[in-house]
Chain A
């Protein structure tokens, strides 16, 4: 049976502000979905809600992974069940080496029943695997000794997220603007890396403004989000259209959602904006 992640009628609020207003989406493992939409439409909120960020409250709807209710799971349980998000803004953990962080993370994700304090993957075995993955992704091995995202450039952070994706081998991955803040060469490298990791093994939900990532990771489906709803779903041609001509047609076709979106975009100045 193919692994399936289903989102039904998802409503999410941040504080008292509703952001998502009924999102429906189904991903099968091996598929690539593009999630596009203007700023403030709720794309990142969907990622945060999928991973269970405490500030993103699900007020209605459901998220189901292979028949299991994801909403009842803690964030770490979701990770162990095979969900992954590459953060738009990865968080620094000073004093913790990326290699140590990843060794612990990889152990927990691969052995979902591991109890706290039980052994981690043997150091030597882990190092070998990490080294080969880093080679594959053309990442300097020295990187593993640096503290997690601490003093990383924007590009380094995104590369570290891709490395984590490669090590954790999730069933489903949300890539939240993994190409933003990168120069053309870095975008190309990131796109190729994701394509290599993702090919047929991961259900990808790619949040992006650009087309480069989608050139290398050709979406089977393109979803357009506006005002906290998915208003249109199509194939790659939809992504191409939006990239070439922007969101004017979408706004005109869905005036109510467009009005919602402008209201939400204004609210984005808040620290917890969508």
Chain B
């Protein structure tokens, strides 16, 4: 709503006002200006481009998004799904791109851990942030949305764990949108050599059918031998546009377990990119997607082996209800020097309605000659036979289907080593499964 004559949308005037409002270091302002130019220069993606061929964003109008976000009326916030009953090392909460609260357990601060809102930590530790932000991982010039994010990110969370500090409790970050809200949050995680941490990131809307716009980025930079468990649960309302660039860079012997839960949003287009730059690094990705209504979720993964003897193992499973649609496009890229690569990617889809559609497009691009790379995908419907079998044991049809769908995801749940995450995903999916037509 435009009551005061202020125009909404990503316009030149709004960008200028946005910069003015923030008293940021000059280098950051300069970067923002550069990326804003990039954003202006780039046209909206079209379906002529391979990445957008199956994903239609013609109804997304950047000029109509409520940006910059004005202050938000006090509203009842959704409760967190991932952190219930979990003792946390720290937490940040944002609403419509503004930090609401943040905390870090003193014990970790004393050991040099930095955790909190990116927009304030960039003031406290400008050189540290400058070293990593949009510099090592995500490429701001990748497309129009990465440039928009790089120019206009307003809030975010940074976790920096110094050498050999091992944090046993997880960090939790929650991003919330109210109806029509805009979020350009940034997540930056830096683990120095030998550090260990777990990070749970989740998004939610205040109401199930809220609209909104998210254009975010996640950057993970891991030093030698570091270990990270990272969980991203996307559970926006069914009217939210979700555009995200996510990239992890792993040094020698670093290990990353990355779990993705994709449940919400009207349309999601996510680029997930893992770069194995040091020998012996390994990454496991566990993707769980459940779509319903008219949702469209599009995931583009790239596991890029740049160094020898690395392992990457991506498993995405999706169940689709109603007229929803998923696109999964996976690529294993192995550079010439990356011998002894062990790469795996798989995408299994379970169609719960005749009108749902899942596209799986696996790909390999291998330039080394001593590698083991395998990929595969399946798409199918729930068989009637197991449903009948379970009904003969007293299950209602709905209970049988819910059980079969949960069983379908079990393989990926079994890989997730954080109980609260497994439980939250299992519960969310079971709740969503309706009658099977």
Contact A104 B399 (CB under 8 A): yes
**Nearest Cβ distance between residue A177 and chain B, in whole angstroms?**
16
Determine the chain A residues whose CB is within 8 A of the CB of B384 once the complex forms: 54
Does A23 count as interface, using CB distance less than 8 angstroms? no
Contact B399 A116 (CB under 8 A): yes
14 A-B pairs (CB sep. < 8 Å): A75-B392, A84-B392, A85-B392, A91-B388, A93-B386, A93-B389, A93-B404, A93-B407, A95-B410, A96-B403, A108-B393, A108-B396, A109-B394, A147-B407
Does A8 count as interface, using CB distance less than 8 angstroms? no
Contact B409 A80 (CB under 8 A): no
Does A90 count as interface, using CB distance less than 8 angstroms? yes
Query: With A94-B408, A147-B407 given, is the CB distance from A76 to B397 under 8 Å?
Result: yes
Contact B403 A93 (CB under 8 A): yes
Q: Chain A residue with minimal CB distance to B391?
A: A75
CA distance A80 to B400 in the complex (A): 15
Mask of B397-434 contacts with A, CB within 8 angstroms, 1/0: 11110011011111100000000000000000000000
Does B50 count as interface, using CB distance less than 8 angstroms? no
Contact A95 B386 (CB under 8 A): no
Determine the chain B residues whose CB is within 8 A of the CB of A96 once the complex forms: 403-404, 406-407, 410
**Nearest Cβ distance between residue B431 and chain A, in whole angstroms?**
10
Query: With A104-B395, A105-B395, A108-B395 given, is the CB distance from A53 to B388 under 8 Å?
Result: yes
Does A257 count as interface, using CB distance less than 8 angstroms? no
Determine the chain A residues whose CB is within 8 A of the CB of B383 once the complex forms: 91
Contact B389 A79 (CB under 8 A): no
CA distance A82 to B384 in the complex (A): 22
Does A87 count as interface, using CB distance less than 8 angstroms? yes
Mask of A150-166 contacts with B, CB within 8 angstroms, 1/0: 00000000000000100
Counting chain B residues whose Cβ lies within 8 A of the other chain, the interface size class is: 20 to 34
Does A230 count as interface, using CB distance less than 8 angstroms? no
Contact A95 B406 (CB under 8 A): yes
Contact A91 B385 (CB under 8 A): yes
Kindly identify which residue among B385, B398, B399, B411 contacts A95, using a CB–CB cutoff of 8 Å: B411
Determine the chain A residues whose CB is within 8 A of the CB of B88 once the complex forms: none
Contact B385 A105 (CB under 8 A): no
Does A92 count as interface, using CB distance less than 8 angstroms? yes
Kindly identify which residue among A51, A52, A94 contacts B410, using a CB–CB cutoff of 8 Å: A94
Contact A95 B408 (CB under 8 A): yes
Contact A79 B391 (CB under 8 A): yes
Does B80 count as interface, using CB distance less than 8 angstroms? no
CA distance A52 to B389 in the complex (A): 11
The 8 closest A-B pairs by CB, nearest first: A95-B407, A95-B410, A108-B394, A75-B391, A105-B393, A96-B407, A91-B389, A79-B394
Interface size in chain A (residues, C-beta < 8 A): 31
Within 367-393 of B, Cβ neighbours of A (below 8 Å) are at 383-386, 388-393
Q: Chain B residue with minimal CB distance to A81?
A: B394
Determine the chain A residues whose CB is within 8 A of the CB of B386 once the complex forms: 91-93
Determine the chain A residues whose CB is within 8 A of the CB of B403 once the complex forms: 93, 96, 101, 104
Contact B406 A76 (CB under 8 A): no
Contact B404 A76 (CB under 8 A): no
Residue from B386, B391, B404 with most neighbouring chain A CB atoms (10 Å): B391
Q: Chain A residue with minimal CB distance to B430?
A: A117
Q: Chain B residue with minimal CB distance to A76?
A: B391
Kindly identify which residue among B385, B394, B407, B411 contacts A76, using a CB–CB cutoff of 8 Å: B394
Contact B409 A76 (CB under 8 A): no
Within 50-98 of A, Cβ neighbours of B (below 8 Å) are at 51-54, 74-76, 78-80, 84-85, 87, 90-96
A interface residue numbers (CB < 8 A to B): 51-54, 74-76, 78-80, 84-85, 87, 90-96, 101-102, 104-106, 108-109, 116, 147, 164, 168
**Nearest Cβ distance between residue B406 and chain A, in whole angstroms?**
7
CA distance A80 to B411 in the complex (A): 31
Residue from A76, A96, A102 with most neighbouring chain B CB atoms (10 Å): A76
Determine the chain A residues whose CB is within 8 A of the CB of B400 once the complex forms: 76
Known contacts A85-B392, A95-B411, A104-B403, then 17 further A-B pairs from the complex at CB < 8 Å, ordered by chain A residue: A54-B388, A75-B388, A84-B392, A93-B403, A94-B407, A94-B408, A95-B408, A96-B403, A96-B404, A96-B407, A96-B410, A104-B399, A105-B393, A108-B393, A109-B393, A116-B399, A147-B407
Q: Chain B residue with minimal CB distance to A51?
A: B392
Residue from B385, B394, B397, B408 with most neighbouring chain A CB atoms (10 Å): B394
Determine the chain A residues whose CB is within 8 A of the CB of B399 once the complex forms: 104, 108, 116
Contact B397 A74 (CB under 8 A): yes
CA distance A172 to B210 in the complex (A): 52
Query: With A91-B385, A101-B403 given, is the CB distance from A164 to B391 under 8 Å?
Result: no
Contact B410 A76 (CB under 8 A): no
**Nearest Cβ distance between residue A84 and chain B, in whole angstroms?**
8
Kindly identify which residue among B389, B395, B410, B411 contacts A90, using a CB–CB cutoff of 8 Å: B389
**Nearest Cβ distance between residue A251 and chain B, in whole angstroms?**
33
Determine the chain B residues whose CB is within 8 A of the CB of A93 once the complex forms: 386, 389-390, 403-404, 407
Q: Chain B residue with minimal CB distance to A110?
A: B394
CA distance A90 to B404 in the complex (A): 15
Within 331-349 of B, Cβ neighbours of A (below 8 Å) are at none
Q: Chain B residue with minimal CB distance to A111?
A: B394
Q: Chain A residue with minimal CB distance to B414?
A: A95
CA distance A93 to B400 in the complex (A): 10
CA distance A90 to B385 in the complex (A): 9
Determine the chain B residues whose CB is within 8 A of the CB of A90 once the complex forms: 389
Contact A79 B392 (CB under 8 A): yes
CA distance A164 to B410 in the complex (A): 22
Contact B408 A87 (CB under 8 A): no
**Nearest Cβ distance between residue A224 and chain B, in whole angstroms?**
26
**Nearest Cβ distance between residue B349 and chain A, in whole angstroms?**
15
CA distance A104 to B396 in the complex (A): 11
Determine the chain B residues whose CB is within 8 A of the CB of A85 once the complex forms: 392
Kindly identify which residue among B393, B406, B409, B411 contacts A79, using a CB–CB cutoff of 8 Å: B393
Contact A116 B398 (CB under 8 A): yes
Determine the chain B residues whose CB is within 8 A of the CB of A51 once the complex forms: 388, 392
Kindly identify which residue among A74, A95, A102 contacts B391, using a CB–CB cutoff of 8 Å: A74
**Nearest Cβ distance between residue B53 and chain A, in whole angstroms?**
32
Determine the chain A residues whose CB is within 8 A of the CB of B395 once the complex forms: 76, 104-105, 108
Q: Chain A residue with minimal CB distance to B385?
A: A91
Determine the chain B residues whose CB is within 8 A of the CB of A76 once the complex forms: 391-392, 394-397, 400
